[in-house]
Amino acid sequence: MLRNRLIFSLIYSDGAFTQSRNFRLQKVGDINWLERNYKFQKISFSLDELIVLNATKIDKDIVEFSKAVSRLVDDVFIPVAAGGGINSILDADLLFRSGADKVVLNSCIYSNPQVVKDIVSKYGSQSIVACVDYKVIDGKPKIFVNDGSKALDVDLEAYLIDIQHLEVGEIILNSIDRDGTGFGFDIGVINKYSGLVDVPLIIMGGAGNGQHLKDGLKIEGVSAVATANLFNFIGNGLPNARQSLLEAGMNLARWKSD
């Protein structure tokens, strides 16, 4: 049986790390600030994975982003997934050389699925995390790409099935409506679509406390919960959240620090 996972996501934009709310970004600090204030080497003992996403709106300079990934990787022992602006196998190569264990793909899944096939062929399915961003409009989830700026005229159910045909290793289902709100995951949509996903499903968007993480992991078909909320989980927030999940019987790995 696969272990549940607790994942933290860092949102990078224009050389800085940010807070995101409904995909609107607010700068928090650069990587030096992040290293001073968050001590990821210590925090990583409370996590199973780290995701780093390049949400730069205009020019996603993947070379500069890869440098930030490389510095983060030096501080942690857990797997790191990185993505945002990957448009070719060369972009993926650069992030893997910078220390990423997986790449996160989003817009190119729709615009250029051959890139997905190329990465699978070279690195294997386990190296790819497909990210699906959505908003609920008129009661129906609508998929968005290009950092939430472009809506797709594609049914979410059909899209999830198509993604799996590309042989990705896992899928992130991310609610733009809930992003950064701390109001909890979009349980209704997750319940409706989690059964369609045969690969591990990561849910993201809305987690603001340990109870939200617990509620997410209780949903059948959900493999991992992710949060990008820096301030809600500052200090002992992540260790306490992990401990509460373990006490609730969630199938998380137990580290020595647990």
Give CA angle at 6 (225, 89), nearest 5°: 80
Q: How far apart are CA 140 and CA 46, in angstroms?
A: 35
Tokens of 163: 């993604």
**Cα gap 100→69, rounded to integer Å:** 7
Assign residue 38 a region: left if phi > 0, alpha if psi is -120 to 50, beta otherwise?
Answer: alpha
CA 154 to chain centre: 22
CA distances from 46 to 99, 169, 246 (A): 20, 23, 11
- Measured in whole angstroms, the distance separating CA 166 from the mean position of its chain's CA atoms is 19
User: Which residues are tagged catalytic?
Assistant: 133
